[in-house]
């Protein structure tokens, strides 16, 4: 088989890139290790920047998001038993959209099916080859047979555990990494959210977050030690712990119910440099991971795709390599700013085992400062709504 761009991974990055290419007549094939149903069963991000929603619209996969997504003009930070609002729209003129990653993925998959795009699910042992030459190809197994796709470029959109980054010779890539000593225990429950906007809480017992997916589906998290076991957290224990970490009135307003999903996610910062190796390009979680505190993971996948799509489009329409040559530098410049913001949010809102009283006083001073300085609050808001591409 032959295509112009072989895309590894059918997550948000791969699907969005594939759709933008298809819309402009660039042939592409998506190779995905899992089944379509498995990809759709993963519950992850939910806060979309305006740049991300604009790209979904551009891809032709934004109409359900516009109809069912929840535009948010702000969020609350809770500390010292009180809630303090960050007026995102008042400070930046922008808002964010709450719309689950599962729905984004479903909309992109459906659009791809309508456009006749080729996706190969349950592709085993996908391997990129020859990306240091002008004639790369990808191999995989399916139905007990070995297959080969010849292509112009390979896009590694296969997430943190994917094969694309691992195929690069060790000396050609540098890794920057920080693992945090805690995780997020998260649940989804079919109960109305505690309020119309997100609440991020800094509490002596640890961080908590009240989020949502819709008016009837809530997403809640509490910080837990990384070695915690999910079976030690029956729903009742989760709800009790969550309420302890929220201001009294907020805790009393929480509607509880049986969880429909419960998991513990490790919290990690990770960046691979560069993001281009000859004709192989990494995009999204394949190249970088952020702690979810700033809600940036999915949005960074989208901004990588913005730069990569523009570069490929320029290559195919103008025969220019300039965008491809600039891809890694442009994407990483934005990635590192989001890494900094997510790291800052994580440090400001969580309890750290080695911070002690000094660390807590610094956190308190930071939060106090934020709400006494419009400049400081604006800096938070402009990062949260998403820096320009
Ligand atoms: C538990 C969890 C919770 C999260 N919560 C948030 C959040 O609240 N907010 C936020 O902004 N971000 C969150 N994230 C991050 C966000 O989900 C990711 O940034 C986003 O999914 C990145 O999209 P992607 O397409 O780059 O990668 P992925 O979504 O990981 O997609 C990669 C795809 O590649 C496939 N693949 C992997 N290996 C291979 C292979 N060898 N061959 C073929 N296919 C392969 C995978 O099956 C997958 O479908 C969370 C992530 C996790 C894991």
Task: Say yes or no: 242 and 109 in one domain.
Answer: no
pLDDT tens digits, residue range 122-176?
999 999 999 999 999 999 999 999 999 999 999 999 999 999 999 999 999 999 9
Answer whether 32 contacts ligand 1 (Cβ < 6 A): yes
Specify whether 58 is located in the same domain as 130: yes
| Residue 90 resides in a domain | no
Residue 62 domain-assigned (yes or no):
yes
**Three-state secondary structure string covering 178-215:** EEEEEEEEEEEECCCCCCCCCEEECCCCCCEEEEECCC
Judgement on whether residues 143 and 206 belong to the same structural domain of the protein = no
Q: How many residues does the chain have?
A: 389
Q: Are 33 and 82 in contact (CB under 8 A)?
A: no
Closest ligand 1 atom, CA of 34?
A: 47
Q: Which ligand 1 atom sits nearest the alpha carbon of residue 286?
A: 26
Measure 100 CA to ligand 1 centroid, in angstroms: 13
Q: Tell me the average pLDDT across 37-48.
A: 90
Domain count, the chain: 2
Which residue bears the tokens 């934004």? 62
**For 104, which DSSP code?**
H
Q: What is the pLDDT of residue 388?
A: 94
Residue 124 and residue 30 share a domain: yes
Check residue 2 and report its DSSP letter: B
Catalytic status, residue 200: yes
The verdict on 109 and 172 lying in the same domain is yes
Q: What pLDDT does 45 receive?
A: 83
Residue 354 pLDDT > 90, yes or no?
no
- The answer to whether the CB of 96 is under 6 A from ligand 1 is no
The reply to whether 72 belongs to the active site is yes
227 inside domain: yes
**pLDDT digits over 314-330, tens only?**
999 999 999 999 999 99
Q: What is the Å distance from ligand 1's center to 285 Cα?
A: 6
Residue 77 located in a structural domain: no
Phi first, then psi: give them for residue 340, nearest 5 degrees. -60, -45
The verdict on residue 93 lying in a domain is: no
- How much of the chain exceeds pLDDT 70, in percent? 100
**CA–CA gap between residue 116 and residue 317 (Å, rounded):** 22
Average pLDDT across the chain, whole number: 97
Q: Where is average pLDDT lowest: 33-37, 40-44, 329-333, 373-377?
A: 40-44
Name the strand (E) or helix (H) holding 20.
helix 12-23
Which token pair is 365?
């001073």
- pLDDT, average across residues 344-353: 96
Q: Which atom of ligand 1 approaches the CA of 140 most closely?
A: 42
* pLDDT band with cut points at 50, 70 and 90 for residue 371: very high
Whether 238 maps to a domain, the answer reads: yes
- State the distance from the centre of ligand 1 to the C-alpha of 331, rounded, in angstroms: 18
Q: Is the CB of 285 under 6 A from ligand 1?
A: yes
C-alpha span between 147 and 27 (Å, rounded):
18
Is residue 159 located within the same domain as residue 214? no
SS3 131: coil
**Residue pair 98/69 in contact by the 8 Å Cβ criterion:** yes
Q: What is the pLDDT of residue 74?
A: 98
Whether 193 is catalytic is no
Sheet strands (E) in 32-100: 47-48, 70-72, 75-79, 82-86, 96-98
Residue 80: inside a domain: no
What's the average model confidence in pLDDT over 272-285? 98
Shared domain check, 136 and 45: yes
Q: Is 389 a catalytic residue?
A: no
Whether 156 lines ligand 1, by a CB cut-off of 6 Å, is no
Domain match, 19 and 103 both:
yes
Is ligand 1 within 6 A of the CB of residue 301? yes
Q: Is the CB of 293 under 6 A from ligand 1?
A: no
Instruction: Tell me which of 200, 220, 221, 327 is the catalytic residue.
Output: 200
Q: What is the pLDDT of residues 168-206, one digit of tens each?
A: 999 999 999 999 999 999 999 999 999 999 999 999 999
Please report whether residue 87 resides in a domain: no
- What radius of gyration do the chain's Cα atoms show? 21
Instruction: Give yes or no for residue 44 having a pLDDT over 90.
Output: no
Give the separation between CA 270 and CA 282, rounded to whole angstroms.
Answer: 14
CA-296 nearest atom, ligand 1: 11
The active-site residue out of 12, 72, 136, 220 is 72
How many A from CA of 361 to the centre of ligand 1?
35
Among 37, 121, 265, 298, residue to substitute to test ligand 1 (most atoms within 8 Å of Cβ):
298
Identify the active-site residue in 296, 307, 327, 350: 296
Catalytic one among 111, 137, 292, 327? 292
Q: What is the CATH number of the domain that holds 259?
A: 3.30.9.10
Q: In the structure, what pLDDT confidence band is assigned to residue 43 with cuts at 50, 70 and 90?
A: confident
Distance CA 219, CA 193 (A): 8
What is the per-residue pLDDT for 356?
Answer: 86
Rounded Cα distance between 259 and 368, Å, is: 35
121 in the same domain as 218: no
The verdict on 63 and 142 lying in the same domain is: yes
Question: d(Cα 268, Cα 41) in Å, to the nearest integer?
Answer: 22
Residues 299/283, Cβ–Cβ less than 8 Å: no
Tens-place pLDDT, residues 4-27: 999 999 999 999 999 999 999 999
Q: Domain range holding 36?
A: 5-71+98-176+268-346
Q: 118 and 261: one domain?
A: no
- Residue 101 alpha carbon to ligand 1 centre in Å: 9
Our answer to whether residue 355 is catalytic in this structure is no
Q: Is 74 in the pocket of ligand 1 (CB under 6 A)?
A: no
CATH code of the domain containing 309: 3.50.50.60
One domain for residues 165 and 148: yes
Hey, which residues does 149 pair with through a beta bridge? 138
Atom of ligand 1 nearest to the CA of 304: 26
For the chain, percent of residues with pLDDT exceeding 90 = 96
């Amino acid at each position: 088989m032959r295509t112009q761009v072989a895309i590894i991974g059918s997550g948000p990055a791969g699907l969005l890139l594939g759709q933008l290419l298809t819309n402009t007549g660039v042939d592409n094939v998506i190779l995905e290790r899992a089944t379509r149903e498995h990809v759709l069963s993963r519950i992850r991000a939910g806060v979309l920047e305006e740049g991300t929603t604009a790209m979904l619209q551009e891809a032709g996969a934004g109409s359900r998001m516009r109809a069912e997504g929840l535009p948010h003009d702000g969020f609350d930070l809770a500390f010292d038993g009180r809630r303090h609002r960050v007026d995102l729209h008042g400070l930046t003129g922008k808002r964010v959209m709450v719309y689950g990653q599962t729905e984004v993925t479903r909309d992109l998959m459906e659009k791809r099916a309508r456009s006749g795009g080729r996706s190969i699910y349950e592709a085993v042992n996908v391997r990129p080859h020859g990306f240091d030459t002008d004639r790369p190809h990808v191999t995989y197994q399916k139905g007990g047979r070995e297959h080969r796709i010849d292509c112009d470029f390979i896009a590694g959109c296969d997430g943190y555990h994917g094969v694309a980054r691992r195929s690069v010779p060790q000396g050609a890539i540098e890794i920057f990494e920080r693992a945090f000593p805690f995780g997020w225990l998260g649940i989804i429950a079919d109960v109305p959210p505690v309020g119309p906007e997100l609440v991020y809480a800094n509490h002596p017992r640890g961080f908590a977050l009240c989020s949502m997916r819709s008016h009837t589906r809530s997403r809640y998290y509490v910080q837990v030690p990384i070695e915690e076991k999910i079976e030690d957290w029956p729903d009742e224990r989760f709800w009790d712990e969550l309420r302890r970490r929220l201001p009294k009135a907020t805790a009393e307003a929480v509607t509880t119910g049986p969880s429909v999903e419960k998991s513990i996610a490790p919290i990690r910062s990770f960046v691979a440099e560069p993001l281009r190796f000859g004709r192989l390009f990494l995009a999204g979680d394949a190249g970088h991971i952020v702690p979810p505190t700033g809600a940036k993971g999915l949005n960074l996948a989208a901004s990588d795709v913005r730069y990569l799509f523009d570069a490929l489009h320029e290559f195919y329409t103008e025969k220019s390599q300039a965008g491809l040559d600039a891809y890694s530098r442009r994407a990483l410049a934005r990635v590192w700013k989001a890494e900094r913001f997510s790291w800052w949010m994580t440090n400001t809102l969580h309890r750290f085992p080695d911070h002690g009283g000094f660390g807590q006083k610094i956190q308190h001073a930071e939060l106090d400062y934020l709400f006494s300085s419009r400049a400081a609050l604006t800096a938070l808001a402009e990062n949260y709504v998403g820096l320009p591409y």
